[in-house]
Amino acid sequence: MKEKLMNQIFLEKPPLEKLIEEFLPTINYWANRYVYYGMPVISKEDLVSAGLIGLIEAYHRYDPSKNVKFKTYAEFRIKGAMLDEIRKLDIIPRSIKSKISDFEERLRKLYQELGRMPEDEEIAEFMELSLEEYYKFLESIKGITFIDIENLKQRFLELEEEDIFNFIAGDQREDPFEKYALKELQEKLEKALDCLSEKERLVLALYYYEGLTMKEIAKILDYTESRISQIHNKAILKLRSLLNK
């Protein structure tokens, strides 16, 4: 019954209270996933509130005549509202963003010089940091993402409601150029992932593919949550330095 309610393209809207009850597990799931990017400035409760606002917006804006399931549209709105909440807080200060750009550039140069991905000690030395300072730097960039959330959100805000429905529904006609570009990006990403350590790839797989939280990954690998955060951020920085050429 629950799955039927959440998946159908309904013509008559169920009561909003009922929808909130049905979507709370989904909202909690995405809040647990995204809270990592906003800590310690933002809490899970803040993201749950943002998610509820996103659900209410979906409830009022949903057009049943479009070829989009309400569940799909609502999740899109829920996630968008949470990411917007994170973006508005500007979790990473400008000074840190500048350090991230400098780090990526230096890491790229060091990778080219060595012909391989450098070890932590080599990176710290090249950055003129102690190993402890290097790990503190990794810990300070919790809000870093593989995709620039701010730019992505801005592009989302520029979309008309009609465009959003079209985007979610997707165009069944394949664009040969787009297909080639995506294939090329996938190949580059696969090569970049090969440059990461086994531990870094495992953390990324557990977080992005298996959908686990940092806390859950830490428990599985018997590390502190802080250490998992460092490994994740280091892996993301490495990927960005390799792909943002």
- CATH number at 71 reads 1.10.1740.10
Smallest CA-to-CA distance from 88 within 58, 52, 46 is with: 46
Average model confidence (pLDDT) across the chain: 79
Q: How many domains does the chain have?
A: 2
127 and 22 co-located in one domain: no
pLDDT-derived band at 164 (thresholds 50, 70, 90) equals low
126 and 53 co-located in one domain: no
The C-alpha atoms of residue 82 and residue 44 are separated, in whole angstroms, by 10
pLDDT-derived band at 167 (thresholds 50, 70, 90) equals low
154 and 126 co-located in one domain: no
Q: What is the 3-state secondary structure (H, E, C) of the chain?
A: CHHHHHHCCCCCCCCHHHHHHHHHHHHHHHHHHHHHHHCCCCCHHHHHHHHHHHHHHHHHHCCCCCCCCHHHHHHHHHHHHHHHHHHHHCCCCHHHHHHHHHHHHHHHHHHHHHCCCCCHHHHHHHCCCCHHHHHHHHHCCCCCCCCCHHHHHHHHHCCCHHHHHHHHHCCCCCCHHHHHHHHHHHHHHHHHHHCCCHHHHHHHHHHHHCCCCHHHHHHHHCCCHHHHHHHHHHHHHHHHHHHCC
- State the pLDDT at residue 172: 46
Query: Domain containing 224 — which CATH number?
Result: 1.10.10.10
178 and 69 co-located in one domain: no
| Chain CA centroid to CA 5, Å | 28
Q: Summarize pLDDT for 173-226 with one digit per residue, the tens.
A: 455 555 555 666 677 788 888 889 999 999 999 988 888 888 899 999 999 988
The C-alpha atoms of residue 64 and residue 173 are separated, in whole angstroms, by 23
Look up the domain containing 127 and give its range: 94-141+174-243
- Is this model's pTM higher than 0.85 or not? no
The C-alpha atoms of residue 146 and residue 162 are separated, in whole angstroms, by 28
More confident residue, 169 or 115: 115
Query: What distance, in Å, lies between the first and last C-alpha atoms of the chain?
Result: 49
Smallest CA-to-CA distance from 74 within 18, 11, 7, 28 is with: 7
162 and 100 co-located in one domain: no
Residue 1 has pLDDT above 70, yes or no: no
Average of pLDDT values for 127-133?
90
- State the pLDDT at residue 235: 92
236 and 116 co-located in one domain: yes
Residue 146 has pLDDT above 50, yes or no: yes
More confident residue, 19 or 157: 19
pLDDT-derived band at 50 (thresholds 50, 70, 90) equals very high
Within 8 A by CB and 6+ apart from 53, the residues are: 81
Q: pLDDT above 90 covers what percent of the chain?
A: 27
Asked if residues 48 and 54 have their Cβ atoms less than 8 Å apart, the reply is no
127 and 220 co-located in one domain: yes
- State the pLDDT at residue 53: 94
22 and 105 co-located in one domain: no
